[in-house]
Structure 1
Amino acid sequence: MKSFKKFLILLVLPLLAFSAAHKFYVSVTNVNYSEKDKAIQITSRVFIDDLDKLLLERYDVKSKLATEEESPLADEYLEKYLRSKFVIEVNGANASYDYIGKKYDADVVVFYIEVPNIDLETVKSVQIENEMLMDLFEDQQNVVHFKFGFDKKSLVLVKSRTKGMLKL
């Protein structure tokens, strides 16, 4: 019986060590050119719980995103934060963008952003600076996928390298 208890402990202990959920801090951003709309269209997917924590710590807003009790201030502060941490440059110059809005998809917020009036023939480079959540989570990674016609590039942005560029 004593050896069975030792065996059971040796069997269960490693399982308990790995049962705690490992949290990944990651966002995924897709940057595409729409020929039809003559615009750079961007979607960025960020975990809801990370944004809830961010809004509480940075702006003292209990946002309760994606719930019936969502704060009426949530969208305003999300856009404010997005504009302070997400910068787009076209041909080396800051490009103003329209914040279209957000939607919820399972456990993520999907942000919609557009840079209108872009003629692809004049675009030589597009740079994204994405510092979202890097001020809150040390190991935050922001993945960026560029797709402009046949040109594709994917980058992982981290705190030490927050900018990524696609040269056309």
Structure 2
Amino acid sequence: MKKLLIILCGLVPLLSSALHPLHISVTNIDYNGENNSLEITHKIFMDDLEQAIEGIGGPKLQLGTKFEHPESEKWLSQYLQQHFTLTVNNKEVAFNYVGREADLSAIWIYREVLKVKKVKSLQIDCDFLTEQFDDQRNIIHLKYEDKEESFLMNKNNTTETFTP
């Protein structure tokens, strides 16, 4: 029995990495001309995000379960503020939290930036989970009026600038 337990303990990290071999997030930034706003959607693997929050002293969040920590929103907001910023026309902007959804493996977080009439430049700073995973990749898809651009960020490249 002891040998079986040792073998199983050795297999768990291998199996979990086989089930989730990529460390990646996807963020969509869409300009809404009718509302003069930027609509932001982040999709992040839940287990990675929870691990990162625990790494900065946060509690076990257990997102999307009946055991979810009562201060999950506070910890999510704090993490997002520290690891994703936008600077529009040389001015850092504030985000409004819209909501979130969880599926089996990922969390979708919705935010917006109001009162964005004209974008001359947009700087994106994103280092989601790079403190936790050396192979973390953060993909940003941006749509502004008739222009679309995508960026691939990693531990060594956390800032990109869009100029329409």
TM-score normalised according to structure 2 size? 0.85
Deviations 1:44-76 (A, max 9, x none): 100011112122222240111111100011111
- Amino acid in the other structure paired with 1:26: I
Question: How many angstroms apart in 2 are the aligned matches of 1:52 and 1:31?
Answer: 23
**Alignment RMSD, CA only?**
1.6
- Amino acid in the other structure paired with 1:126: L
SS in 2 for 1:129: strand
TM-score normalised according to structure 1 size? 0.83
What is aligned with 1:9? Answer: none
Pairs within 5 Å for 1:94-113: 94-113=92-111
Pairs within 5 Å for 1:89-128: 89-120=87-118, 123-128=119-124
Question: How many angstroms apart in 1 are the aligned matches of 2:81 and 2:130?
Answer: 14
Question: How many angstroms apart in 2 are the aligned matches of 1:129 and 1:98?
Answer: 17
Paired-residue identity, %: 31
- Which of these residues, 19, 26, 31, is aligned with residue 29 of structure 2? 31
What is aligned with 1:58? Answer: 56
SS in 2 for 1:71: coil
Pairs within 5 Å for 1:7-156: 21=18, 23-120=21-118, 123-156=119-152
Deviations 1:3-54 (A, max 9, x none): xxxxxxxxxxxxxxxxx61611000000110112110110010001111212
- Amino acid in the other structure paired with 2:132: L
Contact 2:58–2:75 (CA under 8 A) maintained in structure 1: no
SS in 2 for 1:99: strand
SS in 1 for 2:135: coil
Count of aligned residue pairs for this structure pair: 148
SS in 2 for 1:59: coil
Please say which of residues 108-117 and 54-63 is displaced more in the overlay.
54-63
- Amino acid in the other structure paired with 1:164: E
Question: How many angstroms apart in 1 are the aligned matches of 2:24 and 2:44?
Answer: 7
Question: How many angstroms apart in 1 are the aligned matches of 2:161 and 2:103?
Answer: 28
Question: How many angstroms apart in 2 are the aligned matches of 1:64 and 1:40?
Answer: 29
Q: How much has 1:106 moved relative to structure 2?
A: 3.3
Structure 1 gaps, min length 5: 1-19
